[in-house]
Amino acid sequence: MMTASSFALVTDSEQPIEIQADFAELDDQEGKTIYIGNVIVIQGSIKMTGDKLKVNFSEDRDLEEIFMEGRPAYFKQTPDNGEDVEGEGLLIEYHANKNLLNLIHKAKLTQGARIFTGDRINYDTAKSVITARAAPKVPDVAGKPAKRERVRIIIPPKKSKSEPTCKSAEFGAGT
């Protein structure tokens, strides 16, 4: 599905797209398809799941946009550089011509051991740039600013090279 991106395995775009759902409606004239009910999409290393999928195609039948809704919607992909990229949100949008993946509402993106959470996460797949945003400030019923979840990013420490251990012969040398 996300074949234009540089974070995909090179072979993903050469693989067939398999979509499973409880209901499907394809409109070739409009270039739109809708899948509803336990939707599963697989193409090479890419896997997406959700409740409802809308796909828009160009006149040449090239993929333009994907909208996956879920509680949450989920995707996973293995890039050429090795660390899996996983994401979830109540809505996942993919805009192929912009190489842009958007995770919207209760968004989470995991790349290896790095974790990004926020209300919205935008991932530029061509440049590997991640932008996260907190939910907008909305007043509560009394008009006071409501507490909102902020962006949260977890970056693990670099793994240190293991220091050489002392050998017993070296430790006792010279005594």
pLDDT digits (tens, 9 = 90+) for 90-137: 999 989 888 889 999 999 999 888 999 999 999 887 787 889 999 887
pLDDT at 14 over 80: no
Question: Residue 169's pLDDT is what?
Answer: 44
Question: Residue 16's pLDDT is what?
Answer: 82
pLDDT tens, position by position, 42-97:
988 889 999 999 999 888 888 889 999 999 999 998 877 778 889 999 999 989 88
Report which secondary-structure segment, H or E, holds 168: helix 168-171
pLDDT at 1 over 90: no
Residue 171 backbone dihedrals phi, psi, to 5 degrees? -60, -40
What band does 161 get if pLDDT is binned at 50, 70 and 90?
A: low
pLDDT at 4 over 50: no
Query: Average pLDDT in the 133-154 region?
Result: 79
Question: Residue 11's pLDDT is what?
Answer: 67
DSSP string, 27-86: ETTTTEEEEEEEEEEEETTEEEEEEEEEEEE-TT--EEEEEEEEEEEEEEE--TTS--EE
